[in-house]
Structure 1
């Protein structure tokens, strides 16, 4: 019975992502930049306060803080840097889908190997489309299709 509820949740999430593939992407660069900027500031302050406890760890925190601070400012003010990071995330998401597909095929997750096959195929398509077209709407639609198809397959599988 739990599989039916999970299937319905996946179908609803898939429909939401299909309807609004850019939900939250527009202001993402600025918000991400602020988050990384605050991470950098936090690491710098932590490094300064940890100087008396462990100089080695404090220096590492300071270095990471400075890198995060520069990266945060870069993301906020240089759209190209954010675009590069998004391109890198396309690879990560595609690889996650491919790995989830392989695991699904091996373990028959969701009651069927087809869920794994679908994830594997969409992961490969995600990487190819992400590199050739790099349109966030299309990538959002692919994720929505994966959720929708997986939910539908789970809905009709026997417990």
Structure 2
């Protein structure tokens, strides 16, 4: 039951991230900050829910989630921090996506689709960095995180 709730939460957060940039109301810093924030929240919730199954993976997910949460709040509410991090913000989000994929890859070996969740996270993180380097469109970049959350949620549901 707990996995189903986490899976549905991932799909909902993924849809929110994909839909949010379409609104086009907020700045690039808020879009990237919100994407990182939602990914951080998901990792913290997933880490807490996995504490019984894999303490190491759980601690890694919670730690990465807390770091992402703090960073995203700074990016959203402190424009000078965003200006300072503007050059590396795109890379940070891609790196966080790759790290989340790597943690999923390492920690979900016993799950049927865990390997693929990790591979997709790593691949989308690399794609995020490449697109961030050349395109710098927050609509596309925010959507990549949303796509990973949706895929991870669907694969978790299929793995039940």
Indicate the TM-score class for this superposition, using the shorter chain for normalisation: 0.5 to 0.7
**TM-score normalised according to structure 1 size:** 0.60
Aligned-partner Cα distance in 2 for 1:93–1:134: 12
Q: Which deviations, in whole Å up to 9, do the C-alpha atoms of 1:91-132 show, x marking residues without a partner?
A: 111111111212221221793211111110110000000111
Unpaired segments of 5 or more residues in structure 1?
33-71
Alignment length, in residue pairs?
111
Unpaired segments of 5 or more residues in structure 2?
34-77
Aligned-partner Cα distance in 2 for 1:2–1:116: 20
Q: Which deviations, in whole Å up to 9, do the C-alpha atoms of 1:47-83 show, x marking residues without a partner?
A: xxxxxxxxxxxxxxxxxxxxxxxxx7x939xxxx82x
Aligned-partner Cα distance in 2 for 1:115–1:126: 16
Q: Any residues of structure 2 matched to 1:1-159 within 5 Å, and which?
A: 1-21=1-21, 25-26=26-27, 28=29, 75=80, 82=83, 85-108=85-108, 111=111, 112-158=114-160
Task: Give structure 1 regions of 4+ aligned residues with deviation exceeding 3 angstroms.
Answer: 22-25
When Rg is computed on C-alpha atoms for both structures, the one with the higher figure is 1
Return the offset for 1:27: 8.2
SS at match of 1:20: helix
Relative to structure 1, the CA distance from residue 28 to residue 101 in structure 2 (aligned partners, 3 Å threshold; closer, same or farther) is: closer
Q: CA RMSD in A?
A: 2.9
